[in-house]
């Protein structure tokens, strides 16, 4: 398909997949999926010293967790070395590039003199082609520089609009090092041409590279792709997001109980909006609504509290059958249940997930709340709750004893029977149901907030419920 959109995500395997990279990958993926295009994954591993297979795998794992499946790749940039060198040879032959025989010491001496104003003075650009070739053949070390033409380099950025650089501000930049390896800008352009990339979507920290790359596209006789430079992601302090702001690698958020669909939703809104007040969206909805023309120019702030809120919204929408497998590893890790016990108690655990999914922002929080129903004892009583609902010790103890006796007689153990017993107790005592339910709730879960009291009692079971009432009365009595 001649007009098919082709995009690429091209991380460097020198670190984990971080939030900024994940958002870039997401925007590329969304555009490809919305338009029926192709999403290419390219690993830019020409920096052999800093690249590692472990980091490459970490990037692939992060992409897989987010569900950002690629159509082509992963392609390793290092595999294109010979093609990159061939491009340099063609640029030399066309006069668009030249050999630079200046030594590092000579260049540094000039930098020391010129300071901030330093720009390569093009002294090697005047060397005749035959002399340049002879010196290279004799073994003299050289780099290859691109010959920047006069004029301006401009493009219509999909985010920032018309963007223009004066070429005089761009020195004749190196495209091939003295060791024969290509510089980033040359390798990127060569790869994009080879992969037929039509749209380059990346962070706006790359804007300074763009005029150099456009000049290379033009010198190589290739079509220039559309560029979209995304706003930076900042921490709450207004500074560029970094490790000091907490977790920045997406794998860390997975460990903290964040769902991939919530992370994608959150990342999508860091610099883009759908044009209305809708914030919680599925991947299908994001794909249907995404467009580059609604990407903002201003930097976005990474708000962890907002991420957790959004995660809670996605958890609340999740069927219990999908939530339980995500919570299970936390329960097993904490020694609350074994995998076999989870399967044996699947139905009551699903009922518990249905109740708790609207009460937690992360799967870790859901697991922490589930713990209350899986241990024998109340592990802590909230002081504010006991102060409010156990204010009169003697009266509270008497009411809890009455509830204990009523629940001990419930048969069969159903929520209907439990509800009838609690209402009957309140009627007998001449008080509203809340005067019975709230002290009981604190006795059973240690705090004044929980799912419905009949659900709590039923889930805990008769023995654990009665035991916790006894322990609560002992605590009230100071035993």
Residues 6+ apart with CB under 8 A from 87: 186, 189, 190, 220
CA dist., res. 66 & res. 118, Å (int): 44
Q: Is 115 annotated as a binding residue?
A: no
Structure letter (DSSP) for residue 169? G
Say if CB 201 and CB 7 are below 8 A apart: yes
* Interval 407-431: pLDDT, tens: 999 999 999 999 999 999 999 999 9
Q: Which two tokens stand for residue 335?
A: 């020694």
Angle at 99 between CA 95 and CA 104, to 5 degrees: 150
Going along the chain from its start, the domains and CATH numbers come out as 6-76+184-234 (3.40.50.620), 82-176 (3.90.800.10), 318-371 (1.10.8), 383-476 (1.10.10.350)
How distant is the alpha carbon of residue 316 from its chain centre? 20
Asked if the model's pLDDT at residue 479 lies above 70, the reply is no
> Model-level pTM?
0.91
pLDDT digits (tens, 9 = 90+) for 57-112: 999 999 999 999 999 999 999 999 999 999 999 999 999 999 999 999 999 998 88
Assess whether pLDDT exceeds 90 at residue 271. Answer: yes
Rounded Cα–Cα distance for residues 265 and 287 (Å): 11
Distance CA 264, CA 260 (A): 6
Reduce the DSSP state of residue 473 to 3 states and report it.
helix
Give the pLDDT mean for 347-371.
95
Does residue 2 have a pLDDT over 60? no
Q: Is 243 a catalytic residue?
A: yes
Average pLDDT, the chain: 94
Residues 6+ apart with CB under 8 A from 474: none
The string of DSSP letters for 81-147 reads HHHHHHHHHHHHHHTSEEEE---HHHHHHHHHHHGGG-----GGGGS-HHHHHHHHHTT---EEEE-
Cα separation, 419 vs 454, whole angstroms: 6
Q: Which residue has the tokens 């249905």?
A: 354
The confidence band for 242, taking pLDDT boundaries of 50, 70 and 90, is confident
For the segment 353-370, the average pLDDT, to the nearest whole number, is 96
Would you place residue 54 in the very low, low, confident or very high pLDDT band (cuts 50, 70, 90)? confident
CA-wise closest residue to 471 among 479, 460, 461, 463? 479
Task: Tell me which of 318 and 2 has the higher pLDDT.
Answer: 318
Residue 233 is encoded by which pair of tokens? 């992601």
The confidence score (pLDDT) of residue 140 equals: 96
pLDDT for the residue numbered 249: 87
Tokens of 370: 């589930």
- Which helix (H) or strand (E) element contains residue 76? strand 72-76
Element spanning 77, H or E: none
CB 270 within 8 A of CB 300: yes
CB distance 196 to 224 below 8 Å:
no
Q: How many CB atoms lie within 10 A of CB 112?
A: 9
Return the C-alpha torsion angle 425, 429, 434, 439, nearest 10.
-80
| Token code pair at residue 450 | 């929980």
pLDDT-based confidence at 279, cuts 50/70/90? very high
What would the pLDDT profile of 244-254 be if each residue is shown by its tens digit?
776 678 989 99
pLDDT of 241 reads 82
Per-residue pLDDT band for 1 (boundaries 50, 70, 90) equals very low
Out of 166, 243, 306, 435, which one is annotated catalytic?
243
Do residues 141 and 180 make contact, with C-beta atoms less than 8 angstroms apart? no
Whether the Cβ atoms of residue 472 and residue 465 lie closer than 8 Å to each other: no
Preceding omega of 74 cis (within 30 degrees of 0): yes
Tens digits of per-residue pLDDT, 438-455? 999 999 999 999 999 999
């Amino acid at each position: 398909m001649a007009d098919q959109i082709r995009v690429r995500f091209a991380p460097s395997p020198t670190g984990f997949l971080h939030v900024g990279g994940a958002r870039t990958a997401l925007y590329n993926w969304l555009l490809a999926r919305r338009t029926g295009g192709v999403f290419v994954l390219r690993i830019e591993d020409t920096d052999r010293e800093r690249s590692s297979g472990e980091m490459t795998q970490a990037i692939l794992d992060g992409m897989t967790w987010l569900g950002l499946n690629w159509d082509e790749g992963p392609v390793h940039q290092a595999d294109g070395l010979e093609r990159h060198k061939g491009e340099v040879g063609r640029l030399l032959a066309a006069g668009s590039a030249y050999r630079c025989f200046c030594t590092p010491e000579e260049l540094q001496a000039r930098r020391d003199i010129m300071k901030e104003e330093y720009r390569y003075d093009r002294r090697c650009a005047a060397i005749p082609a035959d002399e340049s070739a002879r010196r290279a053949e004799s073994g003299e070390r050289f780099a290859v520089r691109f010959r920047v033409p006069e004029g301006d380099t401009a493009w219509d950025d999909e985010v920032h609009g018309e963007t223009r650089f004066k070429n005089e501000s761009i020195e004749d930049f190196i495209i091939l090092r003295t060791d024969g390896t290509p510089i980033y800008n040359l390798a990127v352009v060569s790869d994009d041409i080879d992969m037929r990339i039509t749209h380059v979507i990346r962070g706006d920290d790359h804007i300074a590279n763009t005029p150099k790359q456009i000049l290379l596209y033009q010198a190589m006789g290739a079509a220039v792709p559309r560029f979209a430079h995304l706003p930076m992601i900042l921490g709450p302090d207004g500074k560029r997001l970094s490790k000091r702001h907490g977790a920045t690698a997406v794998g860390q958020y997975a460990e903290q109980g964040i769902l991939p669909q919530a992370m994608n939703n959150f990342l999508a809104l860091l610099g883009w909006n759908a044009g209305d007040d809708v914030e919680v969206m599925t991947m299908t909805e994001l794909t249907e609504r995404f467009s580059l023309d609604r990407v903002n120019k201003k930097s976005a702030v990474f708000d962890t509290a907002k991420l957790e809120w959004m995660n809670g919204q996605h958890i609340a929408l999740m069927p219990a059958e999908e939530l339980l497998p995500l919570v299970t590893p936390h329960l097993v890790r904490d020694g609350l249940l074994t995998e076999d016990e989870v399967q044996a108690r699947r139905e009551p655990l699903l009922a518990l997930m249905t109740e708790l999914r609207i009460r937690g922002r992360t799967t870790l929080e859901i697991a922490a709340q589930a713990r209350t129903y899986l241990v024998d004892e109340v592990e802590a009583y909230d002081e504010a709750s006991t102060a409010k609902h156990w204010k009169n010790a003697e009266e509270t103890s008497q009411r809890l004893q009455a509830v204990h006796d009523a629940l001990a007689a419930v048969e069969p153990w159903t929520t209907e029977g439990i509800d009838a017993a609690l209402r009957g107790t309140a009627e007998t005592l001449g008080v509203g149901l809340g005067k019975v339910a709230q002290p009981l709730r604190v006795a059973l879960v240690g705090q004044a907030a929980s799912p419905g009291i009949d659900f709590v009692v039923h889930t805990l079971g008769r023995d654990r419920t009665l035991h916790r009432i006894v322990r609560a009365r002992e605590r009230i009595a100071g035993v």
